[in-house]
Structure 1
Amino acid sequence: MLFRNNVLEEIKTGRITLAFRQWTRPTVKSDGSLRTPVGILAIESVETVRPDEISDEDAGRAGFNDRKALLAELRKGKGGELYRIAFHLSGPDPREALQQQTDIGVEELAAIRKRLAVLDENSRTGAWTTTALQLIGEYAGQTAGNISESLGITKPTVKRKIRQLKELGLTESLQSGYRLSERGHVVHNRLSD
């Protein structure tokens, strides 16, 4: 479930606590969670609704001026069953704290090295982690396009691979491109030694 940047900011303030989506199958579930750029959303409920069950208040909680505006936006979609998703921001993305952790012991570094080796071994495109960390470390804002050219793989594949590095707290997404996190710089320097 994706949100536009302006909607994410309203979620962050607590103004938006509902979303409406048309899906053939829900991509989130009740009592689940969803990681977003503004933090972790706790999914309170996911339920099917009919358009006539949506109120102006619901539309407001979803970031629309009224029910009519929300329904007009939904008509632009691909169709499917209509779902009402209630949520609240439950806290920051734990990767943010991980990105700041720079006190990395020998055992932790060995675990990171092992995880990177597994990512390389499981990649259909060959070893990529060291080159990607090096490219991203060269300058903040390295784009997926630049990295894909250097690695000789598609841009969508690069984005997926960079998300794997982000899971380890090694990279951060910028408005445009990526950079190494503080943790990423430490790991990259120690792996290069």
Structure 2
Amino acid sequence: MLINADDFEAVASGRFDTAFRRWVRPAAKAGGTLTTAAGVLAIDAVDVVALNAVTAEDLKRAGFQARSDLDAMLGNREGSLYRIRLRYLGEDPRAALRENAVLSEAEADTIAQTLARMDGTTPWVRRTLELIGSQPGHSAQELAKVLEVAPAKVKSNVRRLKALGLTESLSVGYRLSPRGKAWLDKPIASA
């Protein structure tokens, strides 16, 4: 589920706690979380609702002044209408992790083991990290050409690295975090 910065801030400040989306398949589930650069939201409920069952209270909780505002936001998209209840949980835990550039041997070994599992039978981790380190700000499409994989695969892989605090997203492309640089600077035997 995507949420824009203004809507995130509205949920984080407590002004709103509801979002509406039209999906063919739900893109969020109750009990899950939504982690963004701005922080983490809890997804408390995801319910299919009929458009005529959306109440004035629902509209208010989602920040809409009138039903026509919701209709305009939904447009002519296909799928069922979902009402999502959200709650702010806190800061993005990856932010603090990214800044931790002092890795103990145990931390470096844990990262190395995790990355080895991620590599599986087709090693990609070190090459991807080195490429991002040497070409910060390059888009997934540009990185995909060099890595000879689909851009969607690059995005998926970088999200996995980001979850470990090794990369950061830029307005365009990615860069290594201080933690990612520190891990790459460790002797290759730790990798």
TM-score (normalised: structure 2): 0.86
Judge conservation of contact 2:16–2:63 (CA < 8 Å) in 1.
yes
Which one of 175, 185, 188 corresponds to residue 171 of structure 2? Answer: 175
**Deviation sequence 1:17-73 (CA, Å, 0-9, x none):** 211123344333333322233211112222332222323443243243321110233
- State which drifts further: 132-141 or 179-188: 132-141
Give the structure 1 partner of residue 101 of structure 2: 102
Which segment is superposed worse, 26-35 or 66-75?
A: 26-35
Structure 2 unaligned segments of length 5 or more: list them.
Answer: none
Letter in 2 for 1:71: D
What corresponds to 1:166 in structure 2?
A: 162
TM-score, length-normalised on structure 1? 0.85
The alignment partner of 2:28 has SS state of coil
> 103-112 vs 65-74, which deviates more?
65-74
- Between the aligned partners of 2:109 and 2:78, the Cα distance in structure 1 is 47
Structure 2 CA distance for partners of 1:154 and 1:24, relative to 1, 3 Å:
closer
Give the alignment of 1:32-71 within 5 angstroms: 32-71=32-71
Question: Larger RCO: Structure 1 or Structure 2 (Cα < 8 Å, ≥ 6 residues apart)?
Answer: 2
CA distance, structure 2, for counterparts of residue 97 and residue 44 of structure 1: 25
Alpha-carbon shift at residue 85 of structure 1 (Å): 1.2
2: CA distance, partners of 1:42 / 1:133: 30
Q: Secondary structure at the match of 1:157?
A: helix
Q: Which runs of 4 or more aligned residues in structure 1 lie more than 4 Å from their structure 2 counterparts after TM superposition?
A: none
- Amino acid in the other structure paired with 2:141: G
Structure 1 contact 57–66 (Cα < 8 Å) conserved:
no
Match of 1:154 among 150, 154, 157: 150
Q: Distance in 1 between matches of 2:48 and 2:151?
A: 35
| Letter of the 1:118 counterpart | R
Tell whether 2:88 aligns with 1:89: yes
Equivalent residue pairs, number: 189
Q: Please, which runs of 5 or more residues in structure 1 have no aligned partner?
A: none
Give 1:156 shift: 0.7
Native 8 Å contact 2:33 2:43 kept in 1 = yes
Name the CA distance, whole Å, in 2 between partners of 1:100 and 1:189.
15
